[in-house]
Chain A
Amino acid sequence: SQQGEEDPQALSIQEGENATMNCSYKTSINNLQWYRQNSGRGLVHLILIRSNEREKHSGRLRVTLDTSKKSSSLLITASRAADTASYFCATSRPGAQKLVFGQGTRLTINP
């Protein structure tokens, strides 16, 4: 089964509102990354948080990591129409040779 599971699967909000997406995983990790995918395009890396970090910011993005609950959240503040995309979390496990991606959250920002 997938290591990372995003929630919700789809989210629709008004422009200017904040969007929160969650990711849960099953085993211990080295780090967790968030990627964005616009329709018909490849994935673009947004932010990486390591297992010894609890919170990280990048522009309008805020990521938290709770290793005791094996979960992470991605907050996008003051959303814009250009934020419409699918968002994926990906986990890296110690010694593993691959990232494991969740199935993504489809975010729609309505004008």
Chain B
Amino acid sequence: DAGITQSPRHKVTETGTPVTLRCHQTENHRYMYWYRQDPGHGLRLIHYSYGVKDTDKGEVSDGYSVSRSKTEDFLLTLESATSSQTSVYFCAISERGPGAFETDTQYFGPGTRLTVL
């Protein structure tokens, strides 16, 4: 795992509580991503960041917010967790964005398993 850590690795919480997941990288990569992985849906992009304080929505962003105040940290917040947000969350990083011809590969963290009761 290319210098990417996620915390916590496991969390159980109750419906309606706020939850923050942290992604930390030591690679100084410009792009950071949050995905969720669910059976039958594969990997879906929640939000991504293309620089400090520069973020944008992915395909399943409702109910999630993100912040990036430093190059190395990308936070994902569930303002009020719901059972539908029970999932495995992956952070990923890349040097270049996906739209360029010379697309960089993405490096993934180990994941956070979140259960919302």
Residues of A within 8 A of B (CB): 2, 30-31, 33, 40-45, 48, 50, 88, 90, 92-99, 101-104
Contact A50–B105 (Cβ < 8 Å): no
> Known contacts A92-B99, A98-B33; can you find 5 more A-B pairs with CB under 8 A?
A42-B109, A48-B103, A97-B97, A101-B43, A103-B41
Q: A97 with B99: in contact, given A42-B109, A45-B106 (CB under 8 Å)?
A: yes
CA distance A50 to B102 in the complex (A): 8
CB <8 Å contact, B101 and A30: yes
- Contact of A43 with B108 at beta-carbon distance under 8 Å, contacts A98-B45, A104-B42 already known: yes
Residue from B4, B43, B59, B111 whose CB has the most chain A CB atoms within 10 Å: B43
Indicate if the CB atoms of A33 and B105 lie closer than 8 Å.
Answer: yes
Q: Which B residues between 12 and 47 are near A, CB-CB below 8 angstroms?
A: 33, 40-45
Q: Which residues of B contact A (CB under 8 A)?
A: 1, 4, 33, 40-45, 48, 50, 56, 58-59, 90, 92, 97-101, 103, 105-111
Q: In whole Å, how far is B68's beta carbon from the nearest beta carbon of chain A?
A: 15
Check if A31 sits within 8 Å of B1, measured CB to CB: no
Query: Roughly how many angstroms separate A33 CA and B1 CA in the complex, as a whole number?
Result: 18
**Closest chain B residue to A104 by CB distance?**
B42
A102 and B33 alpha carbons, distance in the complex (Å): 17
Q: Which residues of A contact B43 (CB under 8 A)?
A: 43, 88, 101
- Complex: A103 Cα to B38 Cα, angstroms: 9
Q: Given A94-B99, A103-B41, A41 and B107 touching (CB < 8 A)?
A: no
- The residues of B that contact A90 with a CB separation of less than 8 Å are 106
Whether the Cβ atoms of B111 and A42 lie closer than 8 Å is yes
Please state if A42 and B110 are interface contacts (CB–CB under 8 Å): yes
Q: How far is the CA of A42 from the CA of B92 in the complex (A)?
A: 9
CA distance A103 to B44 in the complex (A): 10
Q: Which B residues are in CB contact (< 8 Å) with A96? A: 98-99
- A33 to B92 Cα, complex, angstroms: 15
In the complex, what distance in Å separates the CA atom of A25 from the CA atom of B40?
17
